[in-house]
Amino acid sequence: MKKFLKLYFCIILLLLMSLLAGCSKKKDIVTDSAYMLGTHLNISIWTDDEKEGKQVIKECFRRISEIERKMSVNIKASDVNKINNNAGNFVKVSEDTTKVLNKGIKYTEISSGAFDPTIGRLVKLWGIGTQEEKVPKKIEIDEALKFVNYELLKKKDNNEFKLDKKGMQIDLGGIAKGYAADEVYSILKNKGIEHGVINLGGNIYTLGTKVDGQIWKIGIQDPLEPTGTPMGVVEFSDKAIVTSGNYERFFIKNDKRYHHIIDPKTGYPVQNGIISSTIITDRSMDADALSTSVYILGVEKGLMLIEKMKNTECIIITKDYRVHLSSGMKNKFKIENDRFQIENHNEDNKH
Ligand code: AMP
Ligand code: MG
């Protein structure tokens, strides 16, 4: 019996020693940046092995590059261009592109067509953020609108998709970054990383809590000030936060701002008073599709949509400096610039 007790205490002691040894290793930040998906990317993780941490981030960037090769309209051999160049026929695409297209179709339905992955012709025509950006003639917009119709995007089992009309074009710019952030999150999780921040051009995903156990505080960009100026702060851990804003890609002509979020009904950049819409939810691809959808739907319909969705919150900013919050945001968001004011909305819609 005495022997057993001795052995028992030895095991406990060993366990305690190994735990203490683990604790004594300090976790430091490892961070790296890249330019892909048409934007600046930054990944920061906290780890006790710097070399391994750097490798993990490199692997994340490799994965993002793979996603870009499949989904970019600017890469000739991408899945998206295969579908676009073979309108009229079903085209088999990768599992990645299938997941994103399926989600895109889901959000088209949820947003009653505000989010429309067949927006490609209009995106190309406006060319916002490219050398070719211009205000198109009304006749050109009317022509492009004939090629924007989500009902003509068909899918079959086995990862096959078809555009029913020649000349139609898919564009996944409103959702692909979200998918990339989700994939990065999975890589980090699988590698045992417990604390991190993924920032893909403003698509932010926080992994776990801060290294000291505290909740992350994420700044919400002031849409009227230079990048990096927050107008408020949200507190969340282990969530995706995605913003769509009229300041991200735009040009100004005759004092009018033309930005990159296009209303598929009119063919023009959305003008409904919103200047940014932020979504906070569990997965980045959902947040990404929803931030674009809510921007297009407008304050009332956008809030109604978000109130119906589980674990999903939003912060909408309008050009009159009003901030419209979903009901679950009320205690989680703080304004830091008092030229903005929170607008109270009826909460009866919350399910
Ligand atoms: P985001 O910044 O996530 O709101 O996405 C904007 C991008 O989505 C644009 O640059 C286009 O590539 C694409 N886009 C623009 N309008 C729409 C729309 N109505 N539905 C889906 N994607 C869109
Ligand atoms: Mg989006």
How far is the CA of 146 from the CAs of 85, 167, 204, in angstroms? 17, 9, 35
CB 171 within 8 A of CB 73: yes
Assigned token pair, 199: 């920032």
Whether 307 contacts 327, CB under 8 Å = yes
Mean pLDDT computed over 299-306 = 97
174 C-beta closer than 6 A to ligand 1: yes
Residue closest to 286 by CA, chosen among 76, 104, 67: 104
Ligand 1: centre distance to CA 260 (Å): 7
Ligand 1 pocket residue status of 180, Cβ below 6 Å: no
Which residues does residue 32 pair with via DSSP β-bridges, in sequence order?
43
Ligand 1 mean position, distance from CA 108 (Å): 12
Q: What is the pLDDT of residues 95-147, one digit of tens each?
A: 999 999 999 999 999 999 999 999 999 999 999 988 999 999 999 999 999 99
If you count them, how many residues does the chain have?
351
Q: DSSP of 270-303, one letter per residue? A: --SSEEEEEEEES-HHHHHHHHHHHHHH-HHHHH
CA 183 to centroid of ligand 1, rounded, Å:
20
**pLDDT value at residue 331:** 86
Atom of ligand 1 nearest to the CA of 178: 3
Question: Does 183 score more than 60 pLDDT?
Answer: yes
Segment among 9-23, 142-156, 188-202, 265-279 with least mean pLDDT = 9-23
Q: Quick one: CA dihedral 271, 312, 151, 127, positive or negative? A: positive
Residue nearest to atom 5 of ligand 1 (CA): 174
Ligand number with the minimum distance to the CA of 288: 2
Q: Are 103 and 289 in contact (CB under 8 A)?
A: yes
For ligand 1, atom 8, name the residue with the nearest CA. Answer: 174
Give the pair of three-digit tokens for residue 50. Answer: 């710097």
Query: What global pTM score does this model have?
Result: 0.91
Count of CB atoms situated within 10 Å of the CB of 167 = 13
Interatomic CA distance for residues 276 and 248, integer angstroms? 10
| Nearest-ligand number for the alpha carbon of 39 | 1
Task: Give the SS3 label for residue 237.
Answer: coil
User: Whose C-alpha lies nearest to ligand 1, atom 7?
Assistant: 174
Cα 12 to middle of ligand 2, angstroms: 52
pLDDT tens per residue across span 45-99 = 999 999 999 999 999 999 999 999 999 999 999 999 999 999 999 999 999 999 9
Please report the DSSP string for 106-175 in residue order. Answer: HHHHHTTTSS-TTTHHHHHHH-TTSTT-----HHHHHHHHTT--GGGEEEETTTEEEESSTT-----TTT
5 pLDDT higher than 70:
no
Question: Measured in angstroms, how far is the CA atom of residue 112 from the centroid of ligand 2?
Answer: 16
Counting ligands in written order, the one closest to the CA of 244 is 1
Asked whether the predicted pLDDT for residue 160 surpasses 50, the reply is: yes
The pairing of beta strand 322-325 with beta strand 28-36: unpaired
Q: Ligand 1 centroid to 65 CA: how many Å? A: 20
Tell whether the model's pLDDT for residue 300 goes beyond 60.
Answer: yes
Instruction: Pick from 115, 259, 260, 279 the residue to mutate for probing ligand 1's pocket: most ligand atoms within 8 Å of its CB.
Output: 260
| Per-residue CA distances from 279 to 28, 220, 244, 287, 289 (Å) | 29, 11, 9, 5, 9
pLDDT class of 346 with cuts at 50, 70, 90? low
At 27, is the pLDDT very low, low, confident or very high (cuts 50, 70, 90)? confident
Report the mean per-residue pLDDT for the chain: 91
Confidence of residue 348 (pLDDT cuts 50, 70, 90): low
